[in-house]
Amino acid sequence: MIPSERAIRKQQKQLLKDNLIGQKIKLLFNSDKADGMNGYEIREVPFVFVKDVPAMILDYLDRFERQGTLTWHNGIIPKDEVWIKIGGDKGGDSFKMDFQVVNVAHPNSLQNTVVFSCFEATDSMANIERALPPILEQISGLTSAKWCERSIRVFCFGDYELLNKMYGLCGCNARYCCIYCLASKTDMQQPLHERGKCQPRTLKSIREHHQLFLQDGARRPRAKDISFSVVNRPLIPVEIDHVVLPTLHISLGVFKKLYDLFERDCHDLDLELFHLRVKAQDNSDLTNFDDQVANEIERLRRIQEQLHDKRSALESAEEDLPLYVLQNEMEEIDDRFRDAASIAFKLRNDIQNLEKEAETSQLSYATGPVASSLDKVLHTFKVQRQAYHGKAFVGNHVHKCCEPKVIEALTKTPSKVIEKHLTDNMPLAALDRLRRKAATIQEKFEDIFLKFADVHKGINHTHAVTDSDIHCIGKCILQYIHTFTK
């Protein structure tokens, strides 16, 4: 029997008791106002949090025990332990921290996710440093606590960007971007048997590397040479080997990258088709049109490269802002902050101008018959891309896109659409070249999408993972990498 919403609210109210605090907090926001600080402003926003997180978790464990819903998942969790996951996520206009009790039938379900902290702002490093440390410090007490004579084992989860912030790393593009070990980006390009095992990170080593960073003058550009890309102290007292690998977020990012490459090749095919049809219609302007297409393609590619570089630079610049701006009055902010804020403000303006310039193209990206047909295929399988998040995919839709029938339908699209738009007055050699290119796109991306699907399904599920499963996942990853790089 499912309890009513009123009963659930009554239970939640009883669990919270006097444990919920609401207040206003000053956090940092981007701003285009005239009185902003080089593109930033400080605003007071609502901040709600649980005063005693460990007590709340213990209350939930007591309730689950009374209901008889605790489980040790057939011995996966030792009988003398209970497992708790602590994590965070940015969604909509707010950032939330929550916990999940693993000793229940469906530990990752929405019903088992309990929010214990929430503020209405971005999850920038400045805002996280301002709001969360007092709350996260409570977790250290939880790791040494007992419940019914059982030890409490705490894990940390979140997307990779958040984990980088929680453990003090520069970011996902740093030279030493792995939170688990000290492998550099160069090391990661080498086969595992050639590079060997890498030294693991620990809370202790991160703290030591942070001290080296401070002793060197806290110069962020030198972190890669001085502190293995560590620029902040770790915020959460959970050891690195208890950080849950963010497999879903990794899958979403990789799939988005693959789909963008697929869409780009389809767009290039559209340009060739467009070019060929114009040639067939009017031979007098051939040279001029050739030059126009070539110049426009090159211009758009330069814009995309500049956008990528400036967005990466903006991410680093915003994280480099001194955190003490949130603790001082406006007139006390020094030149160091103003310089950093000015750089970030200029980068944002440059990005806006480049985006506007890209919109002026007469060969608008992904609007040709081939590329635009991809969204129609997705729609037939009830898959949608997020309009305001770089046209990314949500988890359920990526899972659906990994089905063989969806992959087949998507990758057959270039050849199908090309055949519909070819005309008799096009040169036979050009027709053959266009057909071969469409077939190559189909073959290449069908293979890579299927290999990706094997990895995605292997790392994103609710089942316990055995040593045999790990070996199988490793083989799938190697096959995917081999297919992607050939």
At residue 2, does pLDDT exceed 80? no
- My answer on whether 265 and 350 are in the same domain is yes
pLDDT at 286 (0 to 100)? 47
Does 1 have pLDDT greater than 60? no
Quick one: average pLDDT of 311-336? 60
In a domain, residue 243? The reply is no
Nearest to 450 by CA among 377, 401, 393: 401
pLDDT for res 386: 76
Lowest mean pLDDT across 101-110, 200-209, 450-459: 101-110
Packing angle of the helix pair 247-281, 369-380 (nearest 10 deg): 140
Q: Would you say residue 288 lies in a domain?
A: yes
- Asked if 456 and 321 sit in the same domain, the reply is yes
Place of tokens 């605790």: 70
**Residues 142 and 173 placed together within one structural domain of the fold:** no
Residue 21 pairs in a beta bridge with: 49
Do 130 and 271 have their domain in common?
A: no
Residues 112 and 133 in one domain: yes
Q: Please check the confidence at residue 240 and state whether its pLDDT lies above 60.
A: yes
Going from the C-alpha of 480 to that of each of 209, 261, 429, 452, 469, the distances in angstroms are 34, 15, 34, 6, 16
Q: How many CA atoms lie within 13 A of 410 on its CB side?
A: 28
Residue 186 lies in a domain: yes
Q: Say if 110 falls within a structural domain.
A: yes
The answer to whether residue 283 is domain-embedded is yes
Read off the pLDDT of each residue in 427-433 and give the average, rounded to a whole number.
84
Q: Using one digit for the tens of pLDDT, what is the confidence trace for 186-202?
A: 898 887 778 888 999 99
**Which domain covers residue 417, as residue numbers?**
249-485
Q: Are residue 133 and residue 187 in the same domain, yes or no?
A: no
Same domain, residue pair 182 and 324: no
Q: Do the domain assignments include residue 35?
A: yes
Residues 153 and 174 in one domain: no
Q: Could you tell me if 98 and 186 lie in one domain?
A: no
C-alpha span between 97 and 119 (Å, rounded): 9
Of 160, 181, 214, the domain-final residue:
160
pLDDT tens digits, residue range 229-239?
999 999 999 99
Beta-strand (E) ranges in 8-149?
20-30, 40-50, 81-91, 94-101, 113-119, 146-147
Same domain, 288 and 369: yes
Closest CA to 167 of 152, 182, 153: 182
Question: Which range is least confidently modeled, 28-37, 179-188, 379-388, 455-464?
Answer: 28-37
* Residue 485 neighbours by CB under 8 Å, 6+ apart: none
pLDDT tens-digit readout, 146-166: 999 999 999 999 999 999 999
Please identify, among 200, 234, 268, the residue that sits at the C-terminal boundary of a domain: 234
| Percentage of the chain modeled with pLDDT above 70 | 83
Residue 306 in any domain: the answer is yes
Q: Do 258 and 341 reside in the same domain of the chain?
A: yes
Q: How far apart are alpha carbons 308 and 179 in whole angstroms?
A: 23
- Where a domain ends, among 114, 135, 160? 160
Q: DSSP letters along 110-140, please? A: GGGEEEEEEESS---HHHHHHHSHHHHHHHH
pLDDT band per the 50, 70, 90 thresholds, residue 225: very high
Q: How far is CA 470 from CA 243, 328, 379, 476, in A?
A: 17, 50, 34, 10
Helix axis angle for 404-421 and 247-281, nearest 10°, is 10
Tens digits of residue pLDDT in 93-123: 889 999 999 999 988 888 889 999 999 998 8
Domains contained in the chain, number: 3
**Residue pair 407/383 in contact by the 8 Å Cβ criterion:** no
Is residue 242 domain-resident? Answer: no
Compute φ and ψ for 305, nearest 5 degrees: -65, -45
User: Is 230 within 8 Å of 201 (Cβ atoms)?
Assistant: no
Q: What is the pLDDT of residue 387?
A: 62
Mean pLDDT, residues 360-372 taken together: 75
Q: Are 236 and 154 in contact (CB under 8 A)?
A: no
Report d(CA 23, CA 44) in Å as an integer. Answer: 10
User: Are residue 174 and residue 153 in the same domain, yes or no?
Assistant: no
